[in-house]
Structure 1
Amino acid sequence: MSEVQALQTVLAAEHAAVYVLGVLGGQTSQSASPGLLTSISESYAMHRGRRDHLTRTLADLGAVPASSQAAYDVPSDVGTPEAVTREALALERSCATTYAFLVGSTTGDLRAWAMRALQMTAVRSLVFRGTPEMFPGEDEQADR
């Protein structure tokens, strides 16, 4: 797989992450769960920034960046803070897997950026009650 194809795959994942985090934020009460809303908002901003960076990177490489879908599958049972936290953690773990894929599919500056994104995604999962893992994004190597 080429670097451009790998970047397109990760961009598609970031489009989905931004969408889902927007829905999770909409299900989170500022008054009842201010800490959770702050965490969701910070994750949303981080993923939106990555999405925008990937879009620019692909354009700079002469590729047409993948566009977002009109809608994405969102779990229907996100009406409680616990459910929102669970889904946010699942999203961050999924993104970690995607960034681990990007690390393995790129070189140079792109790989360094992917490694930083993987590290930050692993850290973000801790915010949503995840556990530290030796190899984030690599399920078969996880310390569980």
Structure 2
Amino acid sequence: MSALDALQATLADEHAALYTYGVLGARTSQSATPALYDALTAAYRRHRSRRDQLRLLVQEAGGQPVAAAAAYELDGRLLRSAQVQAEALELEVAAVERLLALVAQSSGTVREWALTEATWSATWQVELGGAAGTWPGAPELA
């Protein structure tokens, strides 16, 4: 896989993450679950910024940024705050894995950026109720 392919795959994942965070945000309440609402809002903003940066990186690498799908399929019904929180946690786990794949396929500023973003997502897992792991993004090393 080339660096451009890794950038495109990461961008495609970010499109899906933004869609999912939008759905999750719509299924929570700022008044009933303010901490979860704030965590989802912060994650949405970070992923939107990440998506925008990835678009630029793809263009700088000579590619045409992959477009978002019209819709994405979500697993199960997300009606309870615990389900919403668990789905957000899964998003961050997947983000770390994809970003570390980009780290492995890139160099220089792209690699530094991807590592910073992977670190943020690994840290954000704790904010979403996950446990701190020794090797986030590499479950085979645990």
> Taking structure 2 as the reference length, what is the TM-score of the superposition?
0.97
Residues 20-55 of structure 1 show CA distances to partners (whole Å, capped at 9, x for unaligned) of 000000000111001100000000000010000000
Shift of residue 109, structure 1, vs aligned partner? 1.1
- Runs (5+) with no aligned partner, structure 1: none
Structure 2 residue identity aligned to 1:140: E
Aligned partner of 2:67 in structure 1 is 67
Identity among equivalent positions (%) equals 37
Correspondence 1:52 to 2:49: no
Cα deviation for residue 76 of structure 1 reads: 3.3
Superposed CA RMSD: 0.9
The residue type equivalent to 2:94 in the other structure is S
Residue identity matched to 1:49: S
Question: Structure 1 residue 124 and structure 2 residue 112: aligned?
Answer: no
Deviates more, 1:133-142 or 1:13-22: 133-142
Unaligned runs of 5+ in 2: none
Runs of 4+ in structure 1 off by over 3 angstroms are none
- SS at structure 1 position matched to 2:46: helix
Q: How many residues align?
A: 142
Partners of 2:12 and 2:36 in 1: CA distance: 25
Aligned mates of 1:91, 1:118 — CA distance in 2: 12
CA contact (8 A) 1:100 1:136 kept: no
Residue identity in the other structure for 2:93 = R
1:135 is displaced (CA, Å) by 1.6
Aligned position for 2:14 = 14
The 5 A counterparts of 1:71-86 are: 71-86=71-86
Question: d(CA) in 2 for partners of 1:78 and 1:23?
Answer: 9
Alpha-carbon contact 1:7-1:102 (below 8 Å) kept = yes
Q: C-alpha offsets along residues 100-139 of structure 1, whole Å, 9 cap, x if unaligned?
A: 1111111111111111011000011111111111221111
In the other structure, the counterpart of 2:136 is 136
